């Protein structure tokens, strides 16, 4: 041990080492003065904290992040509704069946959306099954879309609504599983495209939709 300097008896010269009096298991502690740059950063942080605390809670100069996020969510929802209304303003059964579902560009875009979002439950061939790799089939959670059976509606705009809003509240689901509201993830145009793709696979189910809608 050193010659027992008192605590606070800092090193005066560069390189001088002062040790605290105590020692545990042969471990001793320095008693050096902290460098001024460190001390002033520390004091500065305390002063800054007081100022920032006042500005944050006492004024409205800094936006509360929770409020900012809420405002953004509301803006996004408003934009979603505007976009949906714009598309719905001139979308109808006839347009879905006779324009979109017959347009290779819409159908291809719809297929891409289907591959990305719908295949896990409805299958790549829309049969709601998947090969198990041993010549058998695995049943997927969704309903088959090519079996000519429509559980809720066979009306194109009705199907648009179903995909957009998900299973109707009164549905008990398919084996208890309901479908989510895709309008939360896909734009109205993407929903129209993905539906066009589904319709293009079973056009016979929609053959009673007239070419020009009754006004």
Could you say whether residue 167 binds ligand HEC (CB under 6 A)?
Answer: yes
When asked if residue 192 is in the footprint of ligand HEC (CB under 6 A), the reply is no
Choose the stretch contacting ligand HEC; rule: CB under 6 A; options: 13-21, 50-58, 172-180, 199-207: 172-180
CB-based burial label for 63 (10 Å; 0-12, 13-18, 19+): exposed
Q: Which of 106, 160, 182, 206 binds ligand HEC (CB under 6 A)?
A: 182
Binding part of the chain for ligand HEC, among 17-25, 95-103, 131-139, 176-184 by CB under 6 A, reads 176-184
- The reply to whether 118 sits near ligand HEC by the rule CB under 6 A is yes
C-alpha to C-alpha distance for 13 and 31, rounded to whole angstroms:
13
Buried b (16+ CB within 10 A) or exposed e, 153-182: eeebbebbbbbbebbeeeeeebeeeebeeb
Kindly tell me the sign of the dihedral angle through the C-alpha atoms of 95, 98, 101, 104: negative
The single residue among 101, 107, 126, 159 that binds ligand HEC, judged by CB under 6 A, is: 159
Q: Which is nearer to ligand HEC, 31 or 103 (CB)?
A: 103
Task: Tell me how far, at minimum, the Cβ of 145 lies from ligand HEC, in Å.
Answer: 6
Cβ atoms of 203 and 101 closer than 8 Å: yes
- Provide CB contacts within 8 A for 181, sequence distance 6+: 164, 165, 166
Site residues for ligand HEC per CB under 6 A: 114, 117-118, 120-122, 141-143, 145, 149-152, 159, 162-163, 167, 171, 173-174, 177-179, 182, 194, 198
């Amino acid at each position: 041990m050193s010659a027992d300097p008192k605590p606070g008896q800092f090193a005066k010269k560069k390189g001088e080492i002062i040790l605290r009096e105590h020692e545990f298991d042969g471990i001793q502690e320095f008693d050096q003065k902290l460098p001024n740059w460190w001390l002033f950063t520390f004091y500065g942080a305390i002063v800054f904290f007081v100022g920032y605390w006042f500005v944050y809670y006492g004024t409205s100069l800094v936006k509360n992040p929770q409020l900012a996020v809420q405002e953004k969510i509301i803006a996004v929802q408003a934009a979603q509704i505007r976009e949906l209304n714009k598309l719905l303003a001139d979308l109808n059964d006839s347009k879905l069946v006779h324009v979109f579902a017959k347009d290779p560009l819409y159908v291809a875009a719809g297929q891409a959306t289907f591959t990305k979002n719908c295949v896990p439950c409805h299958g790549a061939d829309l049969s709601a099954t998947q090969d198990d790799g041993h010549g058998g089939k695995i049943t997927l959670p969704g309903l088959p879309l090519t079996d000519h059976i429509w559980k809720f509606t066979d009306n194109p705009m009705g199907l648009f609504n179903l995909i957009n809003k998900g299973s109707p509240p009164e549905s008990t689901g398919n084996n208890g599983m309901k479908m989510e509201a895709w309008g939360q993830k896909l734009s109205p145009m993407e929903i129209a495209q993905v539906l066009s793709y589904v319709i293009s696979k079973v056009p016979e189910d929609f053959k009673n939709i007239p070419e020009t809608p009754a006004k």
